[in-house]
Structure 1
Amino acid sequence: ALALYVNHRVRVPGTADIVYWLADEWDGKGIFLQDADALVYPYENLKKVCEHINEKLPFVERIAVYATAADVLRRTPEELAELKRLKLGIIYMGLESGDNEVLKRVRKGITAEEMIRAGKMMKNAGIRSSVMVILGLGGSELSERHARETIRVLNEMDPDYVGALTLLFTEGTPIADDYKNGRFHPISEFESLKELLSMVEGSDFTDCFFSSMHASNYLPLRGRLPAEKERMIRQLKTVIEKADQTLLRPESYRRL
């Protein structure tokens, strides 16, 4: 239905109007495959999906997906190269932390070393990567090593984009239960900024767009690293030194 409408302005009976509304706003350059881990799909099936997009919507420039490191590692270099040829242009992946103890505690199910391998596989295939990390995930106990090891792993992965989020508790999750029962001690707002500062200071990327613009963060920050590293460090240090709550995003806004 989408291809018929975009290519020929033909509407298919029974298709929801929202498909056509979205098509009218779409620039035609990118497609995101479902809001889940697309690489878990069997390779031959995923290849057919990408081939279908290329056939029906040849003007699309880039296909994007979410994926876990485990699913990237299950692909061969040849399979990733073929997906790249079929316009798989970027993979969004959650690192969360580069510290193996933190990863174990949150039951990530993968090690930092495996994340590094996955990152290098994507880079070797020419597929861009956007990697998410979570400030405060180690709590006060592991805060310093969480920040240190996270930037170490990110440097090894050398992603094109990094998105920093800040920990929020969701009712019913193990980490929320640990917090309620005194087994997990969260860091403060300004301690989360210190973790962010540590990561920016320790960064050694080729060329990465680093952002903390997500609503969960106390301070929106973005810039290219290493090009804007000094400016970002100055901005963070100024806010940390002032310790002024009015400079931070209000708590009530962090779940928007």
Structure 2
Amino acid sequence: MGEGKFKRPEIIRPPSEWRSYYLPVTSGCSNHTCTFCNYYGKKLRLRPKEEVKEEIDALYMFKRHNVVLPGIDPLVYYLAMEWDCKRVFLQDGDALVYPYEDLLEVLRYLNEKFPEVERISCYATPQDLLRRTVGQLRALREQKLSLLYVGLESGSDEILQKVRKGVKAQDMIEASRKAKEAGIALSVTVILGLGGVDKSEEHAFETARVLSLMDPEYAAALTLMFVPGTPLYEDWKKGAFKPIDPFQSLRELRIIVENVNFSHCFFSSMHASNYVAIRGWLPEEKERMLKHLDALIERGDPSLLRPEYMRAL
């Protein structure tokens, strides 16, 4: 894990966390080898817990007494102005890697200062979940850590190995089982196009299969974008990776929606990387979502899709 003074990370958060306060406990990601990711090569740094608690103190003084403490990053107060004290998102790309006892202490402190907080959430790797006991996860849940964002990316072991995810599909399934046993909800992301042209169907069908076995409360599809400086970007530039076209990404999305078997999951493709936005509860709204995708695919009109210049991570 990286050394040196902790630097507040850029805010990278799920769309649903737009009303949250962003509290950094880490910077970077412990698994910084994924070939597609903008965290590639960015080593993990842990924020000292006393520094985290100092930020919570500053929040408390500002929200309760309208007092601005010296030496606090102005961004803290900017974020706090519109915060309703209901949700907190722990940064950065892998906050659950934070040492267990320290994380528990930070969460307890946050809840002492802001008992009205309803939900605490963060990104987590499957490795994080696998190395925690169910008892530890339950203790974190008791401190309102109630939602984890986990990247499945693909259900294909071959694709997961190629992109250096560091886990197999069965690991993802086991990680989700532990979270569920602890009472923590999951929001699972997948990446359309990650298998390229050659592995498009395998990627879509295997992703639907593994998503079904994970059976998360929320699931979201992103579409692959090439990040300069990553190995996948270099493969693409050299012609070694052949990307799917926009309508093939819709076909992958359709395969996933058609083949997933969820108990009750809110599924969306609202992320800005996608060419089309759909959302709804599965299985209840599956037919409606499939009809919408079928109409777009049948028409084949690029003007109905989000243009490239508007796509973003």
- Which band: TM-score by shorter chain? over 0.9
The match for 1:227 is 284
Taking the TM superposition and a 5 Å limit, the aligned residue runs for 1:34-113 are 34-113=91-170
- State which drifts further: 152-161 or 177-186: 177-186
State the SS of the aligned residue for 1:223. strand
Q: Which residue of 2 aligns with 1:178?
A: 235
193, 202, 211: which one aligns with 1:136: 193
1:182-223 per-residue CA deviation (whole Å, 9 max, x = no partner) reads: 221111111110000000001111111111111111111111
In the alignment, residue 19 of structure 1 is paired with which amino acid? V
Which has a greater percent of helix?
1
Hey, what's the Cα distance between the residues in 2 that align with 1:88 and 1:16?
Answer: 25
Structure 1 residue 255 displacement after superposition = 2.5
Instruction: Tell me, yes or no, if structure 1 residue 188 matches structure 2 residue 242.
Output: no
Cα distance per residue 1:140-185 (max 9 Å; x no partner): 1111010001011111111111111111112232112222222211
Gaps of 5+ in 2: 1-57
Residue 208 (structure 2) aligns with: 151
Rounded to whole Å, the distance in 1 between the matches of 2:134 and 2:120 is 18
Amino acid at match of 1:20: Y
Partner of 1:22: 79
> C-alpha distance in 1, partners of 2:80/2:135?
33
Amino acid of the structure 2 residue aligned with 1:187: I
Instruction: Name the counterpart of 2:176.
Output: 119
For structure 1, which segment, 84-93 or 173-182, has the greater mean C-alpha deviation from structure 2 after superposition? 173-182
Q: Distance in 1 between matches of 2:81 and 2:303?
A: 41
Q: In the alignment, residue 67 of structure 1 is paired with which amino acid?
A: A
Query: Deviation at 1:27?
Result: 1.4
Is the deviation greater in 94-103 or in 174-183? 174-183
User: Quick one: distance in 2 between partners of 1:212 and 1:183?
Assistant: 27
1:205 is matched with which residue? 262
SS, match of residue 48 in structure 1: helix
Q: Cα distance, 1:41 vs. partner?
A: 1.1
Q: After superposition, what is the alpha-carbon deviation per residue over 1:85-141, rounded to whole angstroms, capped at 9, x for unaligned? A: 111010011110010000011111110000000011111111011111100000111
Alpha-carbon separation, structure 2, partners of 1:175 and 1:15: 38
Q: Which of 88, 104, 128 is the equivalent residue of 1:31?
A: 88
Q: Distance in 2 between matches of 1:7 and 1:171?
A: 44
- In structure 1, the partner of 2:67 is 10
- Which letter does structure 2 place at the counterpart of 1:95? L
For the residues of structure 2 that align with 1:255 and 1:58, how far apart are their CA atoms? 36
Q: For 2:255, give the aligned amino acid.
A: S
Amino acid at match of 1:244: D
Secondary structure, in 3 states, of the residue corresponding to 1:131? strand
In the alignment, structure 1 residue 214 sits paired with structure 2 residue 262: no
Call closer, same or farther: CA 1:180–1:17 in 2, change over 3 Å: closer
Q: What is the aligned partner in structure 2 of residue 166 from structure 1?
A: 223
Tell me, in whole angstroms, the C-alpha distance in 2 between the residues paired with 1:14 and 1:144: 54
User: Unmatched 5+ residue regions in structure 1?
Assistant: none
Counterpart Cα distance in 2 of 1:229 and 1:18: 42
Match of 1:255 in 2: 312
- The root-mean-square deviation of aligned C-alpha atoms, in Å, is 1.2
CA drift of 1:33 comes to 1.0
**Aligned partner letter, 1:76:** T
